Amino acid sequence: MPELRDLYQEVILEHSKAPRNYKEPAGTNHKAEGYNPLCGDRFTVYLEMDGDAIRDIGFQGAGCAISKASASMMTQSVKGKTKAEAHKIFEQFHRLVTGHSHEDGSEDQAELGKLAVFSGVSEFPVRVKCATLAWHTLEAALEGQQEKVSTE
Amino acid sequence: MSAAAAVPIRARAVQQPFDVERIRGDFPILHTRVHGHPLVYLDNAATSQKPRSVIDAIVRYYEGENANIHRGVHYLSQVATEEFEKARETVRGFVNAAQSSEIIFTRGTTEAINLVAQTYGRAHLGAGDEVLITAMEHHSNIVPWQMLCEGKGAKLRVAPINDAGELLLEEFDKLLGRRTKVVAVAHVSNALGTINPLKRMVALAHARGIPVVVDGAQAVPHLGVDVQDLDADFYAFSGHKMYGPTGIGVLYGKHALLDAMPPYQGGGDMISSVTFEKTTYNKLPHKFEAGTPDMAGVAGLKAAIDYMNGIGIAKIAGHEHDLLEYATEELGALPGVRLIGTAREKASVLSFVLDEVHPHDIGTILDQQGIAVRTGHHCAQPVMERFHIPATVRASFAVYNTKAEIDALVRGIRKVREVFA
């Protein structure tokens, strides 16, 4: 039986209550909106891109604890990274939360660092969309998509 | 609060004293365990569970009666046709329609509303005309009218509600205008539980000669519905929310209106004769039942109505009313809980939000304790916007729920607060 504490880890709860980079950076030159119509979660991700690098990142919006904490920790993990690096982190993160990490997942977990606290999500398949909403929105912002991203 | 008192009691089958444990014994699925806990099923407004008698009726249909109806001269076809039409008569009696030809079988409430929008609506609406709905409608009583209005250059008008989730009747009355061609309203709100003053609304619309289409999906399982007493012109409901199977529903319509309407879908059974030059449509109700219908579903729906009549709709309503009052008191007393939908007249639905915790998180934590509630916008996004919330948690009750299950819900909410402390 999946354990609630695996999903709602302290770090996740803490980030959901006090999200980091909850702002629109002054130098924003890319942004995208993400929406999960199933639960009404809605986030905007703002990027200040310097060429291929994410110089600054912020997000705003409303959602459940998982989606908010994921957005908050995402901003910390990709700040200063290149587009390709951010993309790779999302791929690893996606494998982690869907339970598709290589072998025992230790490789991804090690590389993901703090984001590894989201491994419990894989035991709650209906919550994968919550954990990945901000990431899909980030991808859209990086690609300069104008359309709103939806998880459906 | 008089949901129970308002129920018209008609002659029913012999009823036994109300015994919730005996009733629970009729529903096989209620013995399921979820994540190591007994299932506490409080998502009845989404769909109710099915008693053994309904499941058996479907099996019996396929094992002993299956044949296409209104077609064959052979034995089974005659049996199937007879049972199908008997079920129509049962539905007629259940909502007290004047004639069984006023009962059209559909896939559900949604299809029934679309039927009216696409036939009556298309025939009667023109550019600049209006359809009046309310701010508490389910998407299925919004979108079909939007689609109609879009095609016709007509306007959708929305009667507002107050902070308790009650319709502002004076505003509703003011919005009934010269251009209003149809009024479409929920009898009971699925997201808020509000029981609308339907009889008065119908009277107001009729005073201006406007017909009223009622979404009765959340009313029929919980109130005694008498379409003649309400004087509703159309009344739609679903089998699966009233202990019947999925995929079957009903559109009631007044004979004169149905008779004058163009058909909805074309196909077999809805015709009397077809040539390549001209088709003559069948008489009511068959005109609106193109193709082979869900005969097993109809058998199941009949069994569901027989089941409800066996208990007695007044007893069902009374029990659910007790549960709602108890749950309102118990949940309302929990710190941080805000009830959404506090109308004076309510049925079966308790929507709420919890300070600082998103409904989706509440849903997951309750699920871990075996408690099934709906979390989200309940297909009523405009209602969520009206209350400035993204979603609610909705507990909704049925005849088999108990106060002990509400106690479990209260413990569940306490657990949510612990996790998020």
Catalytic residues of B: 379
Domain-located, residue A76:
yes
What is residue B1's predicted lDDT score, i.e. its pLDDT? 40
Nearest Cα residue in chain B from A18: B356
What is residue B45's predicted lDDT score, i.e. its pLDDT? 98
- According to the 3-state scheme, what is the secondary structure of chain B? CCCCCCCCCCCCCCCCCCCHHHHHHCCHHHHCEECCEECEECECCCCCCCCHHHHHHHHHHHHHHCCCCCCCCCHHHHHHHHHHHHHHHHHHHHHCCCCHHHEEEECCHHHHHHHHHHHHHHHHCCCCCEEEEECCCCHHHCHHHHHHHHHHCCEEEEECECCCCCECHHHHHHHCCCCEEEEEEECECCCCCEECCHHHHHHHHHHCCCCEEEECCCCCCCCCCCHHHHCCCEEEEECCCCCCCCCCEEEEECHHHHHHCCCCCCCCCCEEEECCCCEEECCCCHHHCCCCCCHHHHHHHHHHHHHHHHHCHHHHHHHHHHHHHHHHHHHHCCCCEEEECCCCCECCEEEEEECCECHHHHHHHHHCCCEECEEECCCCHHHHHHCCCCCEEEEECCCCCCHHHHHHHHHHHHHHHHHCC
Interface mutation target, options B33, B355, B360, chain A, most CBs of A under 10 Å:
B360
How many domains does chain A divide into? 1
pLDDT of residue B154 exceeding 50, the answer is yes
Domain-located, residue A99:
yes
Nearest Cα residue in chain B from A6: B419
- Asked which of A107-116, B135-144, B291-300 is least confident by mean pLDDT, the reply is A107-116
- Residue B8's pLDDT band, with cuts at 50, 70 and 90, is very low
Range of the domain at A44: 4-143
pLDDT of residue B105 exceeding 60, the answer is yes
Q: How far is A51 from chain B (nearest CA, A)?
A: 36
Domain ranges of chain B: 20-50+313-419, 55-309
pLDDT of residue B10 exceeding 80, the answer is no
pTM above threshold 0.90: yes
User: Residue A33 is part of a domain; what is its CATH number?
Assistant: 3.90.1010.10
Domain-located, residue A20:
yes
- Residues of chain A below pLDDT 70: 1-2, 102-108, 145-148, 151-152
- The answer as to CATH 3.90.1150.10 being correct for domain B20-50+313-419 is yes
The 10s digit of each residue's pLDDT in B24-76 is 999 999 999 999 999 999 999 999 999 999 999 999 999 999 999 988 889 99
pLDDT of residue B215 exceeding 90, the answer is yes
Domain-located, residue A149:
no
The 10s digit of each residue's pLDDT in A5-38 is 889 999 999 999 999 999 999 999 999 999 988 7
Interface of A with B (CB under 8 A): 1-2, 4-5, 7-8, 13, 17, 38-42, 62-66, 124, 126-127, 130
Contact A63 B384 (CB under 8 A): no
Q: Name the residue facing B360 among A4, A8, A130 (closest C-beta).
A: A130
Domain-located, residue A151:
no
Q: B384: which chain A residues are within 8 Å (Cβ-Cβ)?
A: 40
Domain-located, residue A148:
no
Interface of B with A (CB under 8 A): 35-36, 356-361, 364-365, 368, 375-377, 381, 384, 390-391, 419-420
Average pLDDT value for chain B: 95
Considering only residues B175 and B2, tell me which one the structure prediction assigns the higher pLDDT: B175
The 10s digit of each residue's pLDDT in B232-291 is 999 999 999 999 999 999 999 999 999 999 999 999 889 999 999 999 999 999 999 999
CATH number of B55-309: 3.40.640.10
Interface mutation target, options B139, B357, B362, B364, chain A, most CBs of A under 10 Å:
B364
